[in-house]
Amino acid sequence: MSDILFPGEQFSTYEEQDKVLVGLSGGVDSAVCVHILKDQGFAVTGAVIRFSPAHDRAVAEAQKAAGALGIPLVVIEAGEAFEQEVVQPFCAAYCAGQTPNPCVLCNPGVKFRLLAQKADELGIRFIATGHYARVQETAPGEYHVCRAASTARDQSYMLYRLGQSILARLCLPLGEFEKEDIRELARTLGLPCADSPDSMEICFIPSGDYAAFIEARGMAGKSGRFIGPDGQDLGPHQGVLRYTLGQRKGLGIALGKPAFVKAIRENGDVVLGWAGEEFFSGMTLQNICTPTGEPLPAGEYLVKVRSAAEPVPCLFDGKATVRFAQPARAPAPGQSAVFYSGDVILGGGFIRESLF
C-alpha cells in the first residue's frame, strides 16, 4: 500500500481498508479515484448523489463510469436535504447582498454526511472522493485537510468545514496528482469520461445564471441605488442579488473609467469605487469552525478569501477580526475565509464584513 496516497495509521493493514465507498459524479476525477483505490487493493463501491433534477445527467454518467470500472453503484436521493441545506441559504444570501459558496455548505451538510451514512448502512468503513486535496493525521487521532500537491487544482478550501468524524475515514487519492496526469490515466484506461469537461461552478444551475434561477423561485434581492465613488446618486440598480464585492463587469453603468463594487449596504445601496481601490485591510468573520472543534487561537496565519486565491499572511484576534499583512482584494461577505499553517487547514469562517 502506498504511504503517499494514504498516510496515517488507519491504512496500516489490508484487512482494515478492504472496503471503500467512492462518491462518483460522472466526471474524470472521481472515475480515476476509483481506479487508484482498486489498484491499491480496495474493494470499491460507488455512490452517486442525486441532489436535484439538474443532476440527472450526472447520475447517468456515473452509471456509465461504474459499468466501465466494474464496480457496484448506489444512488443516493438528496433532494430535500440539498434544498434545505444548500439551495435555500444560497438564494437568501444573494438576496441579502452576500456572495455564498454552495459547495462549502454542501460538503459537510449534505455530500459527506450522506456518503458516511450510506457507508455505515453498507458496512463500509472508508469513504473517498475525487477532490484535489489531502488528509493528514497531524497528531495521534487528529486529522486535517491539507492543500493538494497541485496548487492550480487545490480544492482544500471547499472542505474546511469537515470534522473529525468524516476526516478520520476520508481518502483523497487525487491530492498527489496534476489534472492532466488524471486525464492521461483515464485515456490509458479507456474511460468514457477521459475528456469530459470540468464540472460547473454551480452544479444545480446548468445555465450559470444564478440571478434568473433565484428570481424564478419568486425571490428578489433588495432594491437600492448606485452610489458613485464620489458619493453621488447614480440611480437605481437591478437588485443586490446581481452584484458582489469586487465585481467590475456587468454593472450596466458607465462612469468614463473602470469602477467596481466597493460595498453593498444593508439598505440595498451598491457603493462603487474606482478600479485599483478594491483592496481591504481586513474582515470580520462569523460561524468560525475548526477540524477539531476547538476554538481557533489568536495568532498569525495564512488565509484564503476565495477558493482560487493564494493564501496571504494575516493576524487573527481569536474572536472575529482578521487583519491582512498587506491589503487583500475583495474579501466578499458570504464567502469563506480559510486559515492555513503551511498546507494544513486549521479552521475558517464566513466573511461578515470587509474592513477598509
**Statement to judge: residues 17 and 86 lie in one domain:** yes
**Statement to judge: residues 42 and 137 lie in one domain:** yes
Which of residues 189, 204, 232 is at a domain's end?
A: 189
**Statement to judge: residues 267 and 300 lie in one domain:** no
The domain that contains 341 carries what CATH number?
2.40.30.10
**Statement to judge: residues 141 and 231 lie in one domain:** no
**Statement to judge: residues 328 and 236 lie in one domain:** no
**Statement to judge: residues 26 and 70 lie in one domain:** yes
Instruction: For residue 203, indicate whether it is catalytic.
Output: yes
Q: What is the pLDDT of residue 200?
A: 67
Cell of 265: 449596504
**Statement to judge: residues 324 and 244 lie in one domain:** no
Helix, coil or strand: residue 276 = coil
**Statement to judge: residues 105 and 142 lie in one domain:** yes
- For each of the chain's 356 residues, which pLDDT tens digit applies? 233 344 334 444 445 568 999 999 989 999 999 999 999 999 999 999 999 999 999 999 999 999 999 999 999 999 999 999 999 999 999 999 999 999 999 999 999 999 999 999 999 999 999 999 999 999 999 999 999 999 999 999 999 999 999 999 999 999 999 999 999 999 998 888 887 888 767 999 999 999 999 999 999 989 999 999 999 999 999 999 999 999 999 998 989 999 999 999 999 999 999 988 899 999 999 999 999 999 999 999 999 999 989 999 999 999 999 999 999 999 999 999 999 999 999 999 999 999 98
Helix, coil or strand: residue 289 = strand
The range of the structural domain enclosing residue 236 comes to: 221-274
Instruction: For residue 106, indicate whether it is catalytic.
Output: yes
**Statement to judge: residues 236 and 285 lie in one domain:** no
**Statement to judge: residues 269 and 287 lie in one domain:** no
Question: Beta 170-171 vs 126-128: how paired, if at all?
Answer: parallel
Q: Is residue 337 part of a domain?
A: yes
Q: Is residue 204 part of a domain?
A: no
Indicate which residue of 103, 146, 171, 203 is catalytic. 203
Cell of 322: 482578521
**Statement to judge: residues 40 and 167 lie in one domain:** yes
Q: What is the pLDDT of residue 149?
A: 95
The domain that contains 225 carries what CATH number?
2.30.30
Secondary structure element (H or E) that encloses residue 233, with its range: strand 233-236
Indicate which residue of 33, 91, 103, 106 is catalytic. 106
pLDDT tens per residue across span 215-229: 999 999 899 999 999
Report d(CA 89, CA 55) in Å as an integer.
Answer: 19
Question: Phi, psi at residue 312, to the nearest 5°?
Answer: -125, 150
Q: Is residue 210 part of a domain?
A: no
Q: Is residue 201 part of a domain?
A: no
Task: Indicate the pTM of the whole model.
Answer: 0.93
Cell of 137: 493525521
**Statement to judge: residues 183 and 48 lie in one domain:** yes
Tally the domains of the chain. 3
Q: What is the pLDDT of residue 277?
A: 86
